[in-house]
Amino acid sequence: MNHQFDSTVLREYDIRGIIGATLGADDARAIGRSFGTLLRRDLEREETGRERAPLVAVGYDGRVSSPMLEHALIEGLTGSGCDVRRIGMGATPMLYYAEASAEEVDGGIQITGSHNPANYNGFKMVFRGRPFFGVDIQRIGELAAGGDWLDGTGSVESLEIIEEYVERLLAALSGVDASALSGLKVGWDAGNGAAGPALELLAKRLPGEHHLLFTEVDGSFPNHHPDPTVEANLADLRKLVAEKNLHFGVAFDGDGDRIGAIDGEGRVIWGDQLLMIYAEDLLARLPSSTIIADVKASRALFDAVEKHGGKPVMWKTGHSLIKSKMKEVSAPLAGEMSGHVFFADDYYGFDDALYAGVRLIAASARLGRTVTQLREEMPAMLNTPELRFQVDESRKFAAIEEVKARLTGPDVPEGIEVNKIDGVRVNTPDGWWLLRASNTQDVLVARAESDTEEGLARLLGLIDEQLALSGLQRGESVGH
């Protein structure tokens, strides 16, 4: 027996598809068989004579298709000889917590469509404490295509961990002066995503006053799309903060691993700006720490890390890539423009938007300034949002290589610095611009930042010039 996946399903960072078109129960079963086989072989290589079966934690988000996929995935895992611990419906970071906090758990799989439309679903995986991505995901496809699976009969247990998980989130406030938290007023928007139930429990136990939006899990997302990096999706939260005169507001994506925020005046606090707050707080306690941000982050963030005595590292975009880099350089904090924030100082190093929300409360209290004041103090940089435009899959990486070649050749103007770590990020006297290929979609991503409107216009002109030299144009920006 073997299985062939649709060519669009096995992505760089996760597995994702459209229910009924490119993803279904047979795919989930094959994923379970392949993941279980890889895990058994890896453990048996390392632990000769191992007596117990591998244990895999499995969770799922609030999408309509998730229970069906969970059932098939568990069939595949147990059929490969793995035991399964079902933690039920919840946010992706709750699954990560189930894997990281229990020594006996060898791997974890969350069924989630993340911030994608309601008809999508997918899988995020952890393999023996490390992110599972890139070539790992391609191995899933190879084993399935060859039917190269181990057989076995695993067992299934169910475990309720939401209370334990919420208690662990609250530990982020230990040592924070209670008087600094008593008058706190915060708005939260779960977006009908999987973080809703944990948020309800958390808000009851947090000090201060908390107002919640859309905590009922509904996979059709009736109120707004659960992607907090799109400003239009923050309209309800902005209205709540204004009407209730709250200090700030926090929003989550569909599976609760990405955070969005606004201050008390309704201004968006973007991912790199949140990281500036977390970095200042952390560096006061852990001086000289390495802090990682992706190539889309503002220059202001890297400058702020240096100013507060830290070592900034610019790295590739992608939550799995950032997590791996954190382990490599022992960084206690990292983040992305997309709202993934990773804490490894007093936490496990995975991206957890609920935890990040509590850490924002803690940072504000420890720094002795409101979130609005912290946002006010940030440099006023002029930058574009993430500009995403369609480019054929067969062309996107080749086009970036052509741009790299032109910008590192003999005719590059003076004053130009090129960072090639992920696409091209080019520093010029006007500021910087970025052009990179998405690993998950057939799009190129551009961004630019300057101190002046004129400078920003010139940077966008440079992007257009490079695209034109490769026979492309920016055209109309497309969504995630």
Task: Tell me how far apart the alpha carbons of residues 415 and 93 are, in angstroms, rounded to a whole number.
Answer: 43
* DSSP letter string, 387-439: EEEE--HHHHHHHHHHHHHHHTSTTPPTT-EEE-SSSEEEEETTEEEEEEE-S
Name the amino acid, one letter, at 231.
E
Task: Tell me how far apart the alpha carbons of residues 134 and 240 are, in angstroms, rounded to a whole number.
Answer: 40
Task: Tell me how far apart the alpha carbons of residues 125 and 42 are, in angstroms, rounded to a whole number.
Answer: 15
Task: Tell me how far apart the alpha carbons of residues 83 and 40 are, in angstroms, rounded to a whole number.
Answer: 11
> Are the C-beta atoms of 412 and 429 separated by less than 8 Å?
no
- Tokens, residue 124: 């995020």
> With b meaning 16 or more CB within 10 Å and e meaning fewer, what string describes 25-40?
bebbbbbbbbbbbbbb
- Tokens, residue 300: 């202001």
Task: Tell me how far apart the alpha carbons of residues 237 and 248 are, in angstroms, rounded to a whole number.
Answer: 9
> Are the C-beta atoms of 299 and 432 separated by less than 8 Å?
yes
324 catalytic per annotation: no
* Pairing state between β 120-127 and 107-111: antiparallel
State the catalytic residue, choosing from 34, 65, 80, 114. 114
Task: Tell me how far apart the alpha carbons of residues 467 and 402 are, in angstroms, rounded to a whole number.
Answer: 10
Query: Rg (Cα) of the chain, in Å, rounded?
Result: 22
Distances (CA, A) of 241 to 169, 182, 244, 261, 372: 23, 18, 5, 11, 12
> Are the C-beta atoms of 120 and 18 separated by less than 8 Å?
yes
For 84, phi then psi, to 5°, come to: -125, 135
Task: Tell me how far apart the alpha carbons of residues 16 and 258 are, in angstroms, rounded to a whole number.
Answer: 17
Greatest CA separation found in the chain? 68
Residue 328 makes CB contacts below 8 A (sequence gap 6+) with none
The catalytic residues are: 114
